[in-house]
Chain A
Amino acid sequence: MTEEQKSGVSFNIREPVYIQVVRHFKEQIATGQIGAGDKIPSRRELAALMKINANTAQKAYKEMEEQGLIVTEGNSPSRITQDQQILSSIRAELIESAVDIFIGSIRNIQIPVEELVDIIKTKYTSERKLSPEGGDTR
């Protein structure tokens, strides 16, 4: 993970920072920017990189540990888990929550599903062509 990718996170000020940090790591894992067994920064390093409170960084890591995303053995730095089942569930989880948000905001407009799917197809494929790397996150 490069410094740029991490410090490029822009936070929502109304959502707990630790949850946003966990989501950021999941996105990095799902898109292959960090892989199974990779070392992750210490909590101080993470706080400095993301410009967040060190106790919040600590809380994010605790949450990730509880979800089995990272593992810590003894005094060595924490690493991304090698558990394939957990890793593959991350992508599914991210997709599902993104789709949930989308559906939540489109439902009020009451558009027929066929029409919606067509719009999504056109938009999604044309945006992909514009930014083959998946786009700048900033």
Chain B
Amino acid sequence: MIQVNQMVKIYGFKKVLNGVSFTAAKGEITCLIGINGAGKSTVLKSIMGLTPYKGEVLIDNALLTPVMYEEITFIPDSLTMPSNMRIADCLSFMADFYRNWNAERAEELLKFFELSSKDRVSSLSKGMAAKLNLLLGLALDCDYILMDEPFSGIDMFSREQITNVFTSELIEDRGVIITTHEINDIEHLIDKVVLLQHGKVEREFYCEEVREQEGKSITDVMREVYKK
């Protein structure tokens, strides 16, 4: 389980995160939701130690240390590979760079996303680039995956392929945190929701419980929180 305790992040004079606490369990998909600028990406980057913050992050009850980053993969919101590389080059770069690279799974994912290893990064459509970006993260053997806005700016068909990841064995037994500001297509795919508002967690709940106990959809709850 990933536990974020009282995370505070200040940019200049602006308190972006003002004591954010939540948990994300292994084997579950936790969705960090917030309108633009709510600090969703900042939470993920802080967990990864990519930006300094106050507060603590626990992984399986132990304080996060640099060694543990092999257990967590961060998939940024866009592909960061040089455009002249072929997909095959990207994969071998990852294999050289990461000890926990799973080449077999990478091959599986190529088929799953219908990508060709001969294609150059520069020739990829936005949707294909997004899929390659996900592939590079998903092919690492690790317990937790953090995905920053995996659906932003992607066409319907790539979107469908990406949502298929969430029901497949590709994430079996892993803990996943994704950020999004738009939940329509994925209401039925996620386990848990953490709603960020004004630098704090406004609500944290299991989707099925809100449906069962309150008769509300996730969008209903979002409307309540963000219209205030």
Contact = CB atoms under 8 A, between A and B. Distances in A.
Interface of A: 11, 13-19, 44, 47-48, 51-56, 59
Given A51-B188, A53-B191, A55-B28, A15 B211 contact: yes
B168 A51 contact: no
B212 interface: yes
B167 A17 contact: no
Interface stretch (B58-66, B135-143, B149-157, B214-222): B214-222
A48 B188 contact: no
B208 interface: yes
B204 interface: no
Nearest to B189: A53
Interface string B165-178: 01111001000000
B167 A53 contact: yes
Given A14-B211, A17-B188, A53-B167, 7 more contacts: A14-B216, A17-B211, A48-B168, A52-B189, A53-B188, A54-B167, A56-B191
B182 interface: no
A11 B208 CA distance: 13
Contacts of A19: 212
Most A CB contacts (10 A, CB to CB) among B164, B167, B169 go to B167
B189 A51 contact: yes
A76 B28 CA distance: 25
13 contacts: A11-B188, A14-B216, A14-B217, A15-B211, A44-B169, A48-B167, A51-B188, A51-B189, A52-B189, A53-B166, A54-B172, A55-B191, A56-B191
B214 to A, nearest CB: 9
Contacts of A53: 29, 166-167, 188-191, 207
A55 B187 CA distance: 14
